[in-house]
Amino acid sequence: MLRLGIIGTNWITAQFVAAARETGEYSLTAIYSRREETAQKFADETRANAELFTNLTAFFASPAFDVVYIASPNSLHAAQAVQALNAGKNVIVEKPMVTNIKQMAGIDAALKANPHLFIFEAARHIYEDNFQRVSKFTHTHPISGATLTYMKYSSKYDAFLSGKNPNVFTTTFDGGALEDLGVYLVYAAISWFGVPDKANYSPQILRTGVDGSGVMHFDYPDFSVNLITGKTTQSYLPSEIYTGRDTLTIDAPESIQRIDYTTSEDTVDLAGAQDQNPMIREAAYFAKAINTGDTTARDEKLLLARRVHTVMTQIRTDAGIVFSSDQD
C-alpha cells in the first residue's frame, strides 16, 4: 500500500484521493495545508487517519508518506516537485508539472540524484481507455487535420470580473487558459499526432496579463491542428480528427465518452465505457509503475511531458504572456 501525502485540499485533490483509494493501492496518510483547519476539514471529509502539516519543510521531512500528490497553484508545482524528490518522495504533480520548460532542469537534477524515485505529471486523460482508442486510431490512419476544443467558463471568472484576482487568472500564479485547460489539448495533440514542426498561440489577454482564451495552431508536415481553449466562455463544441474525407468526432478530449467515426457511408461508435472517476486510470498506472520499479514507464511519460511543456513554453512566450516564474 502506497502511503499518500497531499499538497492542496480543493476539489481536484478530493477527486484524486477518491480515485487513489478506489484503486486499492493508496492510503491517505499526510495532509499539508497552510491552515490547520483546512487540513483537518479535508481529513474529516475524507475520513482519513492522516498526519496534518502546516509547514512544508516539516511535511516533506516526515516519514508518514511515500508519494506526494501536488495540487498547489501552478507556479509552485515544479519547485515543490523538486523539493519532494530531494526529500526522498515519489511525486505525482498536477498539470502543469512546469510552467516554463527551464524548470525541467531542476526536476532532472533531482531525479538524477534520486534515480530510484518516480515523478509523474497527472495528465489524467491520457491514461483513459478512450484516449488510447483515439491514439490507436490516429496511429493507424493517415491524418489530415484536427480541431480540438476545451473551453469552460471558470467558476472563478465571476470573481475576476468583479475586480478580484483569483490565482488561476494571474501571472503571479502562472495561471490562464493555456496552462489550466490548454495543456489537456497539447497533451492530446502530441500524443495523437506527435510534436509539431511549428506552433503558435493567439490568445485573448485579460487585464492581469494572462490569457482568458485562445487558439493554438500546430503545423505538421502534411496537415495542421487547431486547439481552442478558454476559461471565460462556455463551449459545447465536440472535437474532430480528420482523415481524408472522413471524420472522427469525440465529445471532449479531456474526458472522452463518445468516439464517432463518420464516413460517407455511416457513423460508427468506437468508444468504450468510461470510469466514473476520471482519475482512476492514472492513479492505478502510477501505483503500478512505482510498485514494480518501472522506470521505463516513468521516463517515457517524462519525455512526453518534456515535449508538451517545450511547446507550451514556446507558444506562451511567443504570444507575449510573461509569468513571474519566467524570471527565476
In this structure, what C-alpha cell is assigned to residue 235?
463551449
| Plot region of 176 (φ>0 → left; ψ -120 to 50 → alpha; else → beta) | left
Please report how close the Cβ of residue 215 comes to a second copy at its closest, in angstroms. 4
Q: Could you please report the per-residue DSSP string of 185-231?
A: HHHHHHHHH-S-SEEEEEEEEPTTSSEEEEEEEEE-SS-EEEEEEES
For residues 97 and 308, what is the distance between their CA atoms, to the nearest angstrom?
Answer: 10
The residues of the shown chain that bind a second copy, judged by CB under 8 A, are: 144-145, 147, 149, 151, 153, 157, 200, 202-204, 213-215, 217, 219, 223-224, 226, 228, 230, 232-238, 240, 242, 244-247, 249, 262
Cβ contact 36:54 at 8 Å: yes
Which CB sits closer to a second copy, 26 or 220? 220
Which CB sits closer to a second copy, 235 or 295? 235
Please report how close the Cβ of residue 221 comes to a second copy at its closest, in angstroms. 10
Which CB sits closer to a second copy, 77 or 231? 231
Angle between helices 280-292 and 295-318 in degrees, nearest 10: 130
Cβ contact 114:88 at 8 Å: yes
Which CB sits closer to a second copy, 62 or 233? 233
For residues 23 and 287, what is the distance between their CA atoms, to the nearest angstrom?
Answer: 9
CA angle 47–49–55, rounded 5-degree value: 110
Cβ contact 74:96 at 8 Å: yes
Which CB sits closer to a second copy, 68 or 199? 199
Please report how close the Cβ of residue 174 comes to a second copy at its closest, in angstroms. 21
Please report how close the Cβ of residue 152 comes to a second copy at its closest, in angstroms. 10
Please report how close the Cβ of residue 216 comes to a second copy at its closest, in angstroms. 9
Please report, as a single letter, which amino acid is at residue 175.
G
Which CB sits closer to a second copy, 260 or 275? 260
Please report how close the Cβ of residue 292 comes to a second copy at its closest, in angstroms. 42
Residue labelled with grid coordinates 471524420: 247
Please report how close the Cβ of residue 200 comes to a second copy at its closest, in angstroms. 6
